[in-house]
Amino acid sequence: MIAKEAIDIFQNSQKNIHRKRTKDSYRYLLEHLDQHFTDSDIERITPDQIYQFLEALTEHAAKSTRRLRYAQLKAFFNFLINEKRHSMKNPCQDSIIAKAFKGPRMKQKDILSRESVDEIIYRSKKTRDRLMLELQARCGMRIGEVLNLRGNDIMDRKLMIRQPKSG
């Protein structure tokens, strides 16, 4: 399978899955991938070629953008391997590429104790603020989801969340 066909298959699979910004981000990567590997056999692309492609694509980009492009390209090849049953190895799995585009070391986050959260909620002066904090702490809602709630989203003891981030 040539790269152009693989890219078309991947883009068609994305139509119903991802949001617009995600599609736009992938579109940028896939357009450059198509230009670079137009008539190449997707199974014959080597890790060295992928490394050179990623370096050229993200030459003056921030580290976070470099990691994003690497992750997107890895997801593209994983899709081809998993969904289309290709017997190829993901060229992005090469240790040199993984080290060059690795993510930052994650720090341990400070987590508030349950008692601290209860105290913050209890000391809230406004009912609106208290309700927002309760929904976030007890239901795990994001602030954007809480702010988008309307009166008609509440029926008995159920909440209807419009456009949750997790889908």
Per-position pLDDT tens, the chain of length 167: 788 888 888 888 887 766 778 888 888 899 999 888 888 888 888 899 999 999 999 889 888 899 999 999 999 889 888 887 667 788 888 888 888 888 777 888 888 899 999 999 999 999 999 999 999 998 888 998 899 888 888 888 888 888 777 66
Q: Which domain holds residue 125?
A: 114-159
Q: How many domains does the chain have?
A: 2
Q: What is the pLDDT of residue 134?
A: 92
Residue where a domain stops, chosen among 100, 128, 151: 100
- Whole-structure pTM value: 0.64
Q: Are residues 87 and 133 in the same domain?
A: no
DSSP category for residue 166: T
Q: Give me the residues paired with residue 41 across strands.
A: 2
**Is 17 part of any domain?**
yes
**Exposure string for 125-153, b = 16+ CB within 10 A, e = fewer:** eeeeeeebbebbeeeebeeebbeebeeee
The helix (H) or strand (E) run that includes residue 158 is strand 158-159
Distance of CA 145 to the CA centre of its chain: 18
